[in-house]
Structure 1
């Protein structure tokens, strides 16, 4: 059953065209030269990747990208590596990066030909408590590759961490009865504790009416 909530599962557009429109000539030249350098010498990305924020800026570019994330995505997609070699380089950049660099890696995963090889990065992020990183990890890559049980747990963690589900890719497409049951149990606990139920879980719960208990059913009716 498809539920109308969550963000799309399709990979984001490559950010290069959008960057071209906003970067000044100096920044644009730096990015073009840096991408060419990475394509010719993959190890150069370790020096250039951290510099992207300083050289290109960090404002909002699109709903998905900030300028620095987009510039770093250009560098990552310029890497001439494939398979495990690409996964190893991306993992190294993530492990040694600051949170902004880690977000850039996570947001770029859907644009890289990695198969399941980047799932350890997603899992590592989901074990943490930085909500900006968790949100970045639960983009189109995670929606496409996380196993069902792990995806459900990730959605539940977002609810606990108060990350809006419309920022989590794939909820609408991947919602199933088990996820609805988990969210209904969470909602029931909130009702018993006299706390509000997050509205963004309700489309998932309502799509599977058989998981709704009596108290939750009454609360939903009162909300209309």
Structure 2
């Protein structure tokens, strides 16, 4: 879960807080620069591209603030810089898995509309469960089309990413007969191969039923055999 600036200030030491102050100031300065002259040619138009200072800070967040805080720090930088699509695309494509994850976790806060969907789609093609989990967050819930969203849910089941990571799962799965069919097919394939059906599949399948319709409710679990009576003194 991403932490707020207040939460980070309470957990970071003095040196890390000072570093974060400087990093956020650089991000804010870049946001003002691009807002004042949004159509001005960028550095890449006049010569080799030079990353703005905050993008360099983005890559160094884990080193200065600790890996446990890196996602939150990077997310704050993206928001403070009002990162554009070219910026987030560059940071995603050139970044490590951890840097890519932070981009995915922040997309819904950047006002990019559906223009960043290629980044989500790329993450969903990977086998990195950290990226898959980040890719099915609020941005995907808002912008992925029905077909792609259904396959994202199946990707979670296939890679054993908990479906709790899927934002607005209940809203989007409710009454989705096509998703129910795909889940039934997936369960049948697993059973035929002698593999267990993930419990999360039952959870999602139950959500696909229209309100008041128990057609796709999860089957009951087998009950345990009754316990043997406690031995008596006579035995």
User: What TM-score results when the alignment is normalised by the length of structure 1?
Assistant: 0.80
Task: Determine if the alignment matches structure 1 residue 29 to structure 2 residue 31.
Answer: no
Looking at structure 2, the residues matched to 118 and 136 of structure 1 have their Cα atoms a distance apart, in angstroms, of 14
Q: What is the 5 A alignment of 1:107-146?
A: 107-146=105-144
Looking at structure 1, the residues matched to 164 and 107 of structure 2 have their Cα atoms a distance apart, in angstroms, of 19
Looking at structure 2, the residues matched to 185 and 223 of structure 1 have their Cα atoms a distance apart, in angstroms, of 22
Please name the residue that 1:49 is paired with: 58
Please name the residue that 2:6 is paired with: 17
User: What TM-score results when the alignment is normalised by the length of structure 2?
Assistant: 0.77
TM-fit CA distance, 1:222: 5.7
Q: Which runs of 5+ in 2 are unaligned?
A: 32-51, 224-235
Looking at structure 2, the residues matched to 40 and 110 of structure 1 have their Cα atoms a distance apart, in angstroms, of 22
Bigger Cα Rg: 2
TM-fit CA distance, 1:118: 1.1
TM-fit CA distance, 1:135: 0.8
Q: Which runs of 5+ in 1 are unaligned?
A: 1-11, 60-66
Contact 2:23 2:57 in 1 (8 A): yes
Work out which of the residue numbers 70, 73, 97 in structure 2 matches 1:71: 73
Contact 1:52 1:71 in 2 (8 A): yes
SS for the counterpart of 2:197 is coil
TM-fit CA distance, 1:221: 4.8
Q: What is the 5 A alignment of 1:1-224?
A: 15-41=4-30, 43-59=52-68, 67-80=69-82, 86-175=84-173, 176-207=176-207, 208=209, 210=215, 220-221=219-220, 223=222
Superposition CA RMSD, Å:
2.1
Matched positions, count: 196
Please name the residue that 1:6 is paired with: none
Looking at structure 1, the residues matched to 25 and 134 of structure 2 have their Cα atoms a distance apart, in angstroms, of 27
SS for the counterpart of 1:116 is coil
Q: Which has the higher contact order (CA 8 A, sep 6+)?
A: 1
Looking at structure 1, the residues matched to 9 and 221 of structure 2 have their Cα atoms a distance apart, in angstroms, of 51
